[in-house]
Amino acid sequence: MTPSTVSYQVMWNRLISVVEEQAQALVRTAFSTSVREAGDLSAGVYDVEGRMLAQAVTGTPGHVNAMADSVPHFIRRIGRENIADGDVYITNDPWEGTGHLHDITVVTPSFYKGALVGFFACTAHIVDIGGRGFGADAASVYEEGLYIPIMKLVDQGKVDDTLIRIIRGNVREPDQLVGDVYALATCNEIGHRRLEDMMVEFDLPDLQGISSFILENSRRATLECIAALPRAKASGEMIIDGYDRPITLKVHLEVQTDRILCDFAGTSSPDKKGINVPLVYTKAYACYALKCAIAPEIPNNAASLAPFEITAPENTIVNALHPAPVALRHVIGHMIPDTVFDALDKILPNTVPAEGAGCLCNFQVSLRPRTDQIAPEGTVRAEVLTFNSGGSGARPTLDGMNATAFPSGVMTMPIEATEHTGPVIIWRKELRPDSGGAGKFRGGLGQYMEVGAVQGHEFDFQAMFDRVDHPARGRMGGQNGAPTQIARSDGAAMKGKGKQFVPHGERVMLAFPGGAGYGDPADRDHADVRRDLALGYISAEVAKSVYGLSDVEVTEVENAVKRGEAV
């Protein structure tokens, strides 16, 4: 008996719950703080053809949308005839995985009553993969770390101990990395168990029926959203810092009856340093931008992504070919949605937000005992990666979000978790007043951070920032967000990207960028301006010179704050 539409809808919701439990299992068991605290991961379930049926809510669009293209590569490389119950597959191939060597993707075939019914897949960012470390300094992917081709991690229940030894012998944090690999495999196993429970409950012999229901309904709903749009073409452009030279991102959109074409012709050529982007990652974030604006309520799966066709000429920075260095592909990739929005705003005005910080404000600290004199006992070597965010752009009817990552959705890591992983000290972490671009709706604030090391240590600081020279641009009369700033406590200049030495006793002073404003600042409600002033989001000077608050109003707000009264 064929299940009813209602039953299929219940099963669909159950599948989403299954992969969310899969993702949460990874969060609970992972060794890396980037997974446990920041949620830099993805999880999903796929049918026997390798088509994504459901993704976890927890995770990043760069991972999950790229992983949607990755599973078919696993099926092709392993070969259907070699897929067996008890297998687990692994890779960190940037072009067949999720964009750089620091992402480990694990795929597990799911068998039910002796037959293959689908696959579970998950990805996590790991702190170290050897090579030069997580940064843009490499001249090719060969320098960026250990490469693991698509292969069997577990063959019918037996772990490949040789592979594990190779991994341990090539990375700086072997226990942490191997622990993460086992966590990835375990979370897939948990997904499989929950799927098996569901199939027993609903008496399903396979996933063919639910797969057809999900994909057919998702495709139809997405096409209805596209059909409601005007048939139009538009172009968008954005200039960002790059490494040694500015990078131009260009995109051309065309809305057709049954698809949206998105082409990045005219974008800059690849860079000599590791900020290049494999096409799979470009597709992931371009699709995400279009889906957010056009079909946000439709669950993510292979069919809801299919009508968004993403192309880019080979040997552009958004379609970099092997062996281009790609470690920091997110620095460019996270700017792709704002580039797409620049074009989409011309087709759908009053829909998309102003530009935000874009790429994550990540940095990695490589700590070691001081070398200028004999280090005291107890000093250690450690790798500490921390994820942080600038402000997001203001929206057509709402302010931008403070210190919130868009488009990645990765969470800012707590200071306590960061300091627990190694002898690093975060001396300051607070919102950055006046960094959000002024507008009818204000851009989200960036943040200040001050980073040092425990007494007796020096460190290399791996910067991965943008928006130093090209801050977020306002929309519809809104003002730009504040740029990124970086310097050493002794006044020495520092660059926005690259590994830089910080001697014993010195600190790195950071100011992360703000999101841009939306609409004319003169149109902002004075009650909102007063609230921003009371909360410390803006200074008295900005309240008066930009938003037009009078001296009397400013004084009233300041006195109310002193008295602890609501504004």
- Cα atoms in the Cβ-side hemisphere of radius 13 Å centred on 527: 1
Per-position DSSP letters for 420-475, written without gaps between them: HTSSEEEEEEEE-TT-SPPSSBPPPP-EEEEEEE-TTEEEEEEEE---SSSPPPPB
The whole-angstrom separation of Cα 106 and Cα 189 is 11
The angle formed by the CA atoms of residues 468, 474 and 478, to the nearest 5 degrees, is: 135
* Gap between the Cα atoms of 335 and 219, Å rounded: 27
Beta bridge partners of 168: none
pTM over 0.75: yes
DSSP-derived letter for residue 102 is T
Q: CB count, 10 Å around CB of 350?
A: 12
Helix and strand element counts for the chain (H, E)? 14, 19
Between CA 178 and CA 136 the distance in angstroms is 24
Report which of 499, 516, 517 is spatially closest to residue 508, judged by C-alpha positions: 499
Query: Tell me, what's the pLDDT at 165?
Result: 98
As to burial, measured by CB atoms within 10 angstroms (0-12 exposed, 13-18 middle, 19+ buried), residue 528 is: middle
- Among 443, 418, 442, smallest CA distance to 429 is for 418
Handedness of CA 23, 28, 31, 34 (dihedral sign): positive
Q: Which secondary-structure segment (H or E) carries 248?
A: strand 247-255
CA dist., res. 145 & res. 138, Å (int): 10
CB atoms within 10 A of CB 49: 13
Closest by CA to 475, choosing from 291, 361, 360, 343, is 343
Reduced to 3 states (helix: H, G, I; strand: E, B; else coil), residue 163 is helix
Count CB atoms within 10 A of the CB of residue 209: 16
Q: In Å, what is the CA distance from 52 to each residue of 43, 116, 173?
A: 10, 15, 32
The strand pair at 260-263 and 247-255 is best described as antiparallel
CA torsion 454-460-464-467 (nearest 10°) is 80
Cβ 195 vs Cβ 116: under 8 Å: no
For residue 508 the two structure tokens come to 């790195």
- Cα distances (Å, whole numbers) of residue 180 to 264, 320, 410: 35, 28, 18
pLDDT at res. 565: 84
Q: Is 476 left (phi over 0), alpha (psi -120 to 50) or beta?
A: left
- Amino acid 34: pLDDT: 87
- Reading the block at residue 475, the tokens are 């929309």
Q: Residue 1: its pLDDT value, please?
A: 62
Please enumerate in sequence order all residues whose Cβ is within 8 A of that of 338, keeping only pairs 6 or more positions apart, or say none. 238, 289, 355, 356, 358, 393, 472
Domain architecture of the chain: domains with CATH = 5-219 (3.30.450), 354-524 (no CATH)
CA 471 to chain CA centroid, Å, is 19
Q: In which residue ranges of the chain is pLDDT below 50?
A: none
Write the pLDDT tens digit of every residue in 245-270. 999 999 999 999 999 999 999 999 99
Side chain identity, residue 51: R
DSSP bridge partners of 497: 464
